[in-house]
Every structure is written in structure tokens, then in C-alpha cells.
Amino acid sequence: MNMKQARFNMIEQQIRPWDVLDPSVLQTMSDLPRDAFVAEAQRPLAYADIQLPLGHGESMMHPRVEGRLLQELAIQEDDICLEIGTGSGYITACMANLAKEVFSIDIHQDFLTMADKRLKAQNISNVTLEQADALEELDMRQRYDVIAVTGAVPEYLPLFEQLLKPEGRLYITVGTGHLQYATLVTHIQNKFVRSNLFATELKLLEGVAKQSGFIF
């Protein structure tokens, strides 16, 4: 299978038609081999318009959703980013190519171990990986320019927006079942402005069902 051609087709047939037109995002997704972030048996499907299973009931997002996520966050080269849910490490890698530094956490150590190997294979060194439960173990003293949450919450959870710097951007998916919306939150003049972007469907963040006090 010609992986370069498959990557080109992904960009032209999935990413661009979903209004992902930011040159830096398109270049990053063109440069990074998505097939290097999946299991060997899944390589023929690495550029398909599907969610690829990762284990632990988790999946990679559709490539088109990954593209929109990256575009909506408008990552700049001096940004410090937080990713909640490392998964395969692919979005981690894309963010790292666009930003100054990426901190990525996941509750599953095996995901982090594999992501570390994949990132090193791509000579990506501006990423720090850590095993942590995002709902219980975040350092609330830290602030980030960009936060990407790669799992969903059933109702809007204000915890993550508190970690944004002024002008910071947060991408999070809100809702359950087939009624989920990708949401962009921007920290503007001491306010958090929320905008629904598009309908999507993701697995809930691990442990989120145990949390109370959700506010939408």
C-alpha cells in the first residue's frame, strides 16, 4: 500500500472537505505519517475515515475531526499546550509540530509507553508525557495557551477552562451518545466564551461518570 498516496487522499478527500484549510494544519498532517501511530495490523486503515480502536475501549478520532480540532485551536509556535488523553500519540505529535511545548497526560500507562516510542521515532522532543487522571490530578496552578481534551464529558465541565491563560483556547466534546458537540472555549477579557462547532461522537473520559457538579 502506498502510504504517501493514502495520506494525500486523506487530506484531499476528508480533511479539506471538512473546511480544514489552515496551511499549517494541512502541512502538519501531510508531513506526519499517521500510519506510524497505529498498530502494525491497522496500518492499511491508518488513513481511512473511521475511528481506529486503541484498546481500553478507546479509539483514535476520525482524521477529519483531528483536523478540525487542530484548526480550531489555532496553535502558534510559542504556545504551551496541554493534551488530556494521549491515546496513540498522533494528535500529540501534530500539536508538538505546531507549538513550543506539549504536556500530555493519559490514565493508561501502556498508551504513554507506546506514544513515547512513536514520538521519538519521529524525532519529536518537545513533549512531556505523564500518567494522571485529568479529573483528579491536574495541577490547578498551571496555565496553558491551548488545551485539547480528546474524550467527551456528558455536560460542560468548567474545570479545564480554569487552566487557560488569557486568550487561551480549549477544545472539548460535550454530550452523550449521538448528541455530542465539539466545543471551543476561549478565555477573553476574564470571560470564557463557548461556541458549539459541530456534532461528533467520542467515548466519555475515563471516570467522568463518577464526577458530580457538572455545569452547562
Q: Does 60 map to a domain?
A: yes
Per-residue pLDDT of 56-108, as tens digits, reads 999 999 999 999 999 999 999 999 999 999 999 999 999 999 999 999 999 99
pLDDT at 215: 41
Alpha helices in the chain (DSSP H): 3-10, 23-31, 63-73, 90-98, 109-121
Residue 94 sits in a domain whose CATH number is: 3.40.50.150
Q: Does 90 map to a domain?
A: yes
The C-alpha atoms of residue 81 and residue 71 are separated, in whole angstroms, by: 14
Percent residues over pLDDT 90 in the chain: 87
Q: What is the bridge-based pairing of β-strands 80-84 and 127-131?
A: unpaired
pLDDT at 214: 43
Q: Is the pLDDT of residue 178 over 90?
A: no
Q: Does 215 map to a domain?
A: no
Q: Does 67 map to a domain?
A: yes
pLDDT at 208: 75
Per-residue pLDDT of 28-49, as tens digits, reads 999 999 999 999 999 999 999 9
Q: Is the pLDDT of residue 210 over 80?
A: no
Number of domains in the chain: 1
Q: Does 216 map to a domain?
A: no
Per-residue pLDDT of 100-126, as tens digits, reads 999 999 999 999 999 999 999 999 999
Q: Does 159 map to a domain?
A: yes
Q: Does 34 map to a domain?
A: yes
Task: Output b/e per residue, 122-137; b: 16+ Cβ within 10 A.
Answer: bebeebebeebebbee
Q: Domain range holding 27?
A: 3-210
pTM reported for the whole predicted model: 0.94
pLDDT at 11: 98
Q: Does 38 map to a domain?
A: yes
